[in-house]
Amino acid sequence: MIKKFIIGIDLGGTNLKCSLLDNKLKIRARNSFSTKSFNSKEKLIRGLADSINNFILSSGYDAGAILGVGIGVPGPVDTFKGIVHFLPNIPGWKEVNLKKVLEKKTGLKVFIDNDARLMSLAESKIGAARGFSNVLCLTLGTGVGGGLILNNLLYRGKDNAAGEFGHVPINITGPKCGCGSEACIETYIGNNAIKKSAVSIFGAGISLEKISYLARNNNRKAVKFWNEAGKKLGIALSGAVNLLNLDAVVIGGGVSSAGWPLFEGIKQAIAKRSMSVQGKRVKIYRAKLGVDAGIIGAGYLVKERLGI
């Protein structure tokens, strides 16, 4: 039988998403588990292995049809050795050779990478960043993750740690950040910071979804709320735009669903704060692949490593 399928996995702090992709990276089948239901490192690893194996069984194909497994994880990894350094939002993970363990448990080739880097890869191949050479892709959620496409390739840096736009400071001093620093853009527009600010303006019990709904219906306070968040992000982006002469910035993740008032704020700040040549060049887009970006990126990772 000709090997022609790839398993793409997106391991998030909340959900573990599993997909069967064909060799054009179209999603043929999918499955999802609660990450928290696996409440230890060992259980999560067994859960990953079982879900891969069960997934193959239930899909009707046999393991011989699988080219490899790609996994995106929410933290810093050594993608070439397959080691997860740690996972900020999933306790108990430290220097785990996930590739080796899973290859042993499944008999399949396994490749891992950071989730934001895989999302960037997917958006650059078939999403909003397609056709652009130099792109910063962001996921706005609890954290502000990022990935860079430079000269049409995923830019990793020596430690595969490049793209951490969430930890670019936008003030000399400011709120303490989980990374150990302060005033990082994540401390202003990360989910928790935005929620806190929402409560102080709209009162307890307000949800970000509700504010987005109000903004879509032109509620002035809600529009201003997202606009201000966008402006802060835009100021931080102007630094990256000036430094990297970016062609495009692609923004996804839960917070990006706030829509136009957020994006208007971003664009206004970039127009005001970046240099003329760079500001004129850069386009700001909403991510296109949504929740599937990580899975499709995992598929590209497998193809890239196998050279197919």
Q: Is the CB of residue 293 less than 8 Å from the CB of residue 122?
A: yes
> Shortest approach of its own copies to residue 138 CB, angstroms?
11
End-to-end Cα spacing for the chain: 17
Q: Of 66 and 251, which has the nearer Cβ to its own copies?
A: 251
Residues linked to residue 6 through DSSP beta bridges, in sequence order: 21, 68
Q: Of 19 and 124, which has the nearer Cβ to its own copies?
A: 124
Residue 236's identity, in one-letter code, is: A
DSSP state of 63: G
Answer for which of 161, 206, 260, 288 binds its own copies (CB under 8 A) is: 161
Residue reference for tokens 């996930």: 98
Q: If binding is defined by CB under 8 A, does position 159 make contact with its own copies?
A: yes
Q: If binding is defined by CB under 8 A, does position 22 make contact with its own copies?
A: no
Answer for which of 224, 273, 286, 305 binds its own copies (CB under 8 A) is: 273
Q: Of 56 and 248, which has the nearer Cβ to its own copies?
A: 248
Interface positions, 231-270, toward its own copies (CB under 8 A):
232, 235-236, 238-240, 242-247
CB proximity list for 131: less than 8 A, separation 6 or greater:
none
Residues linked to residue 69 through DSSP beta bridges, in sequence order: 7, 110
Q: If binding is defined by CB under 8 A, does position 64 make contact with its own copies?
A: no
Q: If binding is defined by CB under 8 A, does position 157 make contact with its own copies?
A: yes
The pairing of strands 153-155 and 144-150 is: antiparallel
How many CA atoms, within 13 angstroms, populate the side-chain half-sphere of residue 251?
A: 27
Residues that bind its own copies (CB under 8 A): 76, 85, 133-134, 146, 148, 150-151, 153, 155-165, 167-172, 179-182, 232, 235-236, 238-240, 242-247, 272-278, 281
